Amino acid sequence: MIGRTTVLTIQTPEGVSFTIPIASPISRCLALAVDFAVIFALTMLISQVVGFLSIAASGVPVLGDILSDFGNGFMIVAQFALAIFYGIITEWLWSGQTLGKRLMKLRVIDERGLSLGLKQVIIRNLFRLLDILPSNFYLLGGTSCLLTKRCQRIGDIAAGTLVIRETRSIAPQFSELMERDENSFAAKPHLESRLRQQVTPDEARIALDAVVRRNELEPKARLQLFEELANYFREMAEFPEDITIGLSDEQYVRNVVETLFRQAAT
């Protein structure tokens, strides 16, 4: 696990670099468990249907035996085909996702950040037979996942793929965040200017993230975080008491964020 990385960093020919979060072994295990359950359920369904048809055909003298035997043979092939092709078909049709990966918001991609090719899908699923050793315990695949830098099982190494965590794909709405009661700091433009001069982009980002994600925090942690942030920003530019009176720490930080990120409006 030494040197493990949690993101795949891609440097594009255009000089832009971006990162893609790599899935953790735990989330992959959960996705796998869902997929096993789906395969098991489908196998049971096929077995029930074949069983029902066998019973229905058993009444016919000679043909019944043949059909029943054919049904048993079909079931064996179907179980095998499901185990092999479930991953191949779903990952190919859903661009690197099985049902389990969809639920866990994971996706298989080419390790260079490109789309997944059919050959890669087939190879990584064929190599599953090696990864599940010994005796379906996934010890080889699991060990490989833990030892490789980018959590790749053997099938991933052979196919040149890795499993990533899908991130949010909807752009956040800032207008809703910013449109609220009048920012009392606006009454003191010289102090706002001082605040903008002193706050670094990193500090501004922390404040904005805190405001955007405030509803994800536990109440106690939320109070503590905004108290620390408000105290920090208060030291940078001290607004007079007449415009800060009655402002909670959270409102104070929201005012700071609005001041920092709405320069054109001020």
Partner 1 sequence: MILDLDKFVAKERPFWDELTELLRLQDENSDYKLTLEQAKRLFYLYQRTSADLVKMKTFAGEAETSQFLENLVAHAYSRLHEDGGEKIRFRPWQWLTRNFPSTFRRHWIAFALSIGTFWIGAGFGATALNYNYELKSDFIPPQFSHLNEKPSKRVAREEKQDFDAFQGRHQFSAQLMTHNTKVTIMTMVVGFLWGIFTLILLFYNGTLIGIVMFDYISDGQGTFLTAWLLPHGSIELPAIFIGGQAGFIIAHTMFGWRTNLKLRARFARIRGDLITLMGGAALMLVWAGIIESFLSQYHDPLFYPWKIGFGAIQLLGLILFLTFSGRRKPELSS
**In the complex, least distance from residue 224 CB atom to partner 1, rounded to whole angstroms:** 20
Torsion angle of alpha carbons 59, 65, 70, 71, nearest 10°?
A: 40
When asked if residue 77 is in the footprint of partner 1 (CB under 8 A), the reply is yes
- Interacting positions 96-125 with partner 1 (CB under 8 A): 109-111, 113-115, 117-120, 122-123
Site residue total, partner 1 (CB under 8 A)? 66
8 Rama class: left (phi>0) / alpha (psi -120 to 50) / beta: beta
Give the tokens for residue 79: 């179980």
When asked if residue 37 is in the footprint of partner 1 (CB under 8 A), the reply is no
When asked if residue 264 is in the footprint of partner 1 (CB under 8 A), the reply is yes
Give the tokens for residue 34: 């869902």
When asked if residue 172 is in the footprint of partner 1 (CB under 8 A), the reply is yes
Q: Which of 80, 106, 105, 107 is nearest to 92 (CA)?
A: 107
- Displacement of CA 135 from its chain's centroid (Å): 30
Q: Which is nearer to partner 1, 106 or 199 (CB)?
A: 199
Q: Answer for the pair 21, 164: CB distance below 8 angstroms, yes or no.
A: yes
Options 8-16, 30-38, 39-47, 183-191: segment touching partner 1 (CB under 8 A): 8-16
Give the tokens for residue 141: 């695949």
When asked if residue 50 is in the footprint of partner 1 (CB under 8 A), the reply is no
When asked if residue 189 is in the footprint of partner 1 (CB under 8 A), the reply is no
**In the complex, least distance from residue 242 CB atom to partner 1, rounded to whole angstroms:** 27
Kindly report the length of the chain.
266
**In the complex, least distance from residue 33 CB atom to partner 1, rounded to whole angstroms:** 22
Cα radius of gyration (the chain): 28
CA distance 79 to 235: 68
CA distance 192 to 264: 13
Among 212, 238, 240, 248, interactor with partner 1 by CB under 8 A: 212
Which residues sit at the interface with partner 1, rule CB under 8 A? 10, 12, 14, 16, 18-20, 65-66, 69-70, 72-77, 79-80, 95, 109-111, 113-115, 117-120, 122-123, 126-127, 129-130, 154, 157-160, 166-172, 174-175, 178, 196, 199, 201-202, 204-205, 208-209, 212, 260-265
